[in-house]
Amino acid sequence: MTTLIPSKLTDEVVASYDHCPDPRVGAIMTSLVKHLHSFAREVRLTEAEWLAGVELLTQVGQFCTPVRQEFIALSDVLGLEMTIIELNHGIEDGATAATLLGPFYVPNAPELPKGALVCGNPPGEPLDVRGEIRDVKGNAIGDALIDVWQAGDDGLYSSQDPNKGKFDLRGRFRSDPDGTYYFKSVVPKGYQIPSDGPVSALMRLTGRSLFRPAHLHFLISARGCKSLVTHLFVKGDPHLAEDAVFGVRDSLIAEFKPNGGDNGKGYTLNYDFVLSRS
């Protein structure tokens, strides 16, 4: 195990937070300073490398717009957002694992009736998604709001594609009193994280994969329960072991079964979500 490297200079910087009015902010800043200095000492960072880091962070900040948060992307590819998820959403009592929200969520998608197709009549392989919403004791949760979003057959979310409507491949559904939910969509495709910004440049420089394995996003909320942000991944996707943002959990890999029904077309996904009581 590596240890933090002490130094007089680090002590001096830490002491500068002695009069921080908010003790929590002071604790965060002093821990950050210790780790930042210790990182620099551990690798013996050169001036040129430090300046390259300054330039990268500047580019990341300048790439951000109201619809493109490149610092969240950086945080995600460094595994920081998933660290935060693990810290704040420990798996308790058999509840469904949480994973990251990601940058493509759009709030207030239309609320649709049970069994409806997500917005935009998207092209692709038809998919039926069914299951139950339960609490950790096995009680059905009715009237849960199931907010769904995904990339389409072309690997693009509506917010990335000017040819798609704002809420295409999105929808909100309610569970029945017996906890069951059901909606129709298309099988999502895997994709690469946006390849035009400084974060993708860093990924290429470091030999990392830009891929995210195919998945559906869920944000599930219900009265008396903690909200659950998660994905369901398509079993068999070739990129499950190299998700660029480290969101995959074994329990979130689900079988998309080919339909054996009348027309033999499309797939069915069955998945039950278990929420923690708040």
Residues that bind a second copy (CB under 8 A): 1-4, 6-7, 9-10, 12-13, 16-17, 19-22, 25-29, 31-47, 49-50, 54, 57-62, 64, 69, 71-72, 75, 78-88, 205-209, 242, 246
The residues facing 111 across adjacent strands are: 172
| Closest CB to a second copy among residues 3, 278 | 3
- 22-35: buried (b, 16+ CB within 10 Å) or exposed (e) per residue? eeeeeeebbeebbe
DSSP-based three-state secondary structure for 89: coil
Closest approach of Cβ 99 to a second copy, in Å?
Answer: 11
Closer to a second copy by Cβ: residue 81 or 128: 81
Whose Cβ is closer to a second copy: residue 41's or residue 174's?
Answer: 41
**By C-beta, is 156 or 210 nearer to a second copy?**
210
Which residues neighbour 186 within 8 Å (Cβ) at sequence distance 6 or greater?
122, 123, 124, 125, 126, 127, 152, 153, 169
How far apart are CB 271 and a second copy at their closest, in Å? Answer: 23
User: Given the complex with a second copy, which of 100 and 148 has the nearer CB atom?
Assistant: 100
Least separation in angstroms between CB 27 and a second copy: 6
Q: Tokens standing for 264?
A: 């033999």
Q: What is the smallest separation between the CB atom of 53 and a second copy, expressed in angstroms?
A: 8
Q: How far apart, in whole angstroms, are the C-alpha atoms of residue 142 and residue 165?
A: 30
Helix, coil or strand: residue 230: strand
Residues 60 and 70: beta-carbon distance below 8 Å: yes
Tokens matching residue 29 = 């800043």
Mark 235-258 as b/e (b = at least 16 C-beta within 10 Å). eebebbeebbbbbbbeebbbebee
Q: How far is the CB of 83 from a second copy (least distance, A)?
A: 5
Minimum Å gap between C-beta 122 and a second copy is 30
Q: Which is nearer to a second copy, 70 or 132 (CB)?
A: 70
Task: Look at the alpha carbons of 82, 84, 90, 94 in this order and tell me if their dihedral is positive or negative.
Answer: negative
User: To the nearest whole angstrom, how small is the minimum distance from the Cβ of residue 88 to a second copy?
Assistant: 6
| Residue closer to a second copy, measured from CB, 107 or 207 | 207
Strands 273-275 and 126-135: parallel
